[in-house]
A and B are shown apart, each in its own frame.
Chain A
């Protein structure tokens, strides 16, 4: 268990102010906040790179302010991976094991285990400079996992990955957390990542923790406007999952959608407005959901256009470009089809 008590730290432009957090053993805790709010500084302070200006860090109820990073048994994975460029993948991974003077046969076993787990067994002789971002990320995780840290700190592990790699990696992080049960603190600015991974979320703003709670609590009871707008709640619905395997039927009021989830019964769902495609005709596409709607209102939001539609009793918002609006000639009152994939229907447990 990690406890941060009245923690203050100033570092250049970043200021942590009166941070109080309690992270339980085996918990997957996500710190969510916009860039420039001092999220990385929290992790670096927990890991021991900096001494806090004020306040205490307790690790299993013992203060660790004075403990050196090498004695904390807290693993850290930087956003930029920070692999050792002069060592190949294998030597990067066994760096920590070698320091601990672990017998060679155990090292060999561990390399095999972890490289298979993270599917990097074919990369062992390569140098970090020749790897893709996703591959480097895996190596960085492998390097820290082999020494079995009690706490794993992940600094924006998903932000540099392309969408497909990112989706895979989220699954991988879940798998790793299930297998090792390591207490994890994960930093992100993306609410969807937090939603996919977190047991609990701490929302941060201007160096302060403004709300802590389960994804549902944050989602349904955002404590203030900042949180609500930051997590960008739009198109949230409560519904019920029918059907069993593969693609399920999701019933929201009188509207039926197709979704992909392992959950059953009552659920919550979000359909991100930017993932909805609008069409004047009902084309058959690979996307499984197509709703006939009427346009309620159209307004600009930044560089994009937000189209608010109504389908039976469901209000749906979609984000499209100005060009698309002109091209489709969408006007208020028009009949239009909202098309989106099953994977765009994000389903999670309801509170």
Chain B
């Protein structure tokens, strides 16, 4: 009995202490949460204010601007170049990402770092590098004589977009492939697949979502590519004038209405791409493409 009472007292004391500390931590944590919220709120306001300001100005004049031949040209050029460069990115990124992920290559780490350089470089620098390679070397002149002229040409726009985005695409696909258990391919091979067949019939279908997400994000980035394209292909009205170039040209000549129209179109496309990317990204987990474990006992 005695010891029980003593215990009760102890518990009561404990509760008192708890109450006090609870009050304190409650306020402490509330302040912390408010600070967290404040930072998020500040950034959110900045993003929303900046974007909506452009949209409000742009959408008003978009119907008239969209009829101008210049805007029409830049939309068309942007769509065509971005689609071609995105296709090229897929074409290169699939085999490269796959070999980086699945093959035992000597010097894989170094190769990997080199493949990531375009991602780390500012696009303007990439553009200058490409300009020097294709504009000033015999190699570039030789290519130009075969019809592959990149400098101050639409092909340069495509090359610039490709160069700036390829590392990005490789990264996305690498993480997609690494999520797929290599055992699946190996089982495919014991069932009679060649290495290529098991890639086509197993890994590729399982990478569908990653591939789609990568394509959308690459395409959106290609649409907005400016720095590298400016250096390599220049900003010639109605020749190498993509949407961002048009925005730049019209801003510099004070044609605010056209500039806002280009900006609005890019913003809308980017937001749609972001939504697609986030949705595809989240549904990725629905395919259980990673078989548990992986012990080699």
Interfacial residues, chain A to chain B (CB-CB below 8 A): 11-12, 14, 33-41, 44, 47-49, 68-70, 72, 74-76, 78-82, 84-86, 95-96, 99-100, 128-129, 143-144, 147, 149, 189
Contact = CB atoms under 8 A, between A and B. Distances in A.
A80 B193 contact: no
A112 to B, nearest CB: 19
23 contacts: A14-B296, A44-B296, A68-B194, A70-B190, A70-B191, A70-B194, A75-B190, A76-B187, A76-B190, A80-B183, A82-B183, A82-B291, A84-B184, A84-B188, A85-B287, A86-B202, A86-B208, A95-B188, A96-B191, A99-B192, A99-B193, A129-B287, A149-B190
Nearest to A49: B186
B297 interface: yes
| Prevailing SS type, chain A contact patch | loop
The listed residue with most A CB atoms (<10 A of its CB), out of B201, B206, B295, is: B295
Contact of B295 (A34, A35, A149): A35
A153 to B, nearest CB: 8
Contact of A36 (B188, B202, B287, B297): B297
Interface in B196-248: 197, 201-202, 205-206, 208
**Size bracket of the B interface:** 20 to 34
Contacts of A40: 295-297
A143 B186 contact: no
The listed residue with most B CB atoms (<10 A of its CB), out of A12, A75, A78, is: A78
Contacts of A48: 189-190
A78 B291 CA distance: 10
A41 to B, nearest CB: 5
A95 B190 CA distance: 11
Nearest to A136: B291
Given A40-B296, A86-B202, A99-B197, 20 more contacts: A14-B296, A36-B297, A40-B297, A48-B190, A70-B192, A72-B190, A75-B191, A76-B190, A79-B295, A80-B293, A82-B291, A85-B287, A86-B205, A86-B206, A86-B208, A99-B191, A99-B192, A100-B192, A143-B191, A147-B192
A72 B189 CA distance: 10
Contacts of A37: 297
B152 to A, nearest CB: 46
B286 to A, nearest CB: 9
Contacts of A72: 190
The listed residue with most A CB atoms (<10 A of its CB), out of B181, B186, B191, B208, is: B191
Contacts, number: 93
Nearest to B290: A85
Contacts of B109: none
A144 B191 contact: yes
Given A76-B186, A82-B187, A85-B206, A96 B192 contact: yes
B292 interface: yes
Contacts of B60: none
B205 A78 contact: no
A68 B198 CA distance: 13
Please provide the 10 A-B residue pairs with the shortest distance between their CB atoms, ordered closest to farther. Answer: A96-B191, A69-B189, A35-B297, A99-B192, A80-B291, A76-B190, A82-B183, A40-B296, A82-B187, A129-B288
B202 A84 contact: yes
A86 B297 contact: no
A315 to B, nearest CB: 34
Contacts of A95: 188, 191, 201
A82 B206 CA distance: 13
A95 B288 CA distance: 19
Nearest to B194: A70
B110 to A, nearest CB: 22
B289 to A, nearest CB: 5
Contacts of B202: 84, 86
A129 B236 CA distance: 55
B206 to A, nearest CB: 5
Contact of B297 (A39, A68, A75): A39
A223 to B, nearest CB: 21
The listed residue with most A CB atoms (<10 A of its CB), out of B189, B201, B208, B296, is: B296
Contacts of B187: 76, 78, 82
Contacts of B293: 79-80
Nearest to A81: B291
Nearest to B202: A84
A48 B201 CA distance: 20
B190 A11 contact: no
Contacts of A75: 190-191
Given A11-B296, A14-B296, A38-B296, A82 B191 contact: no
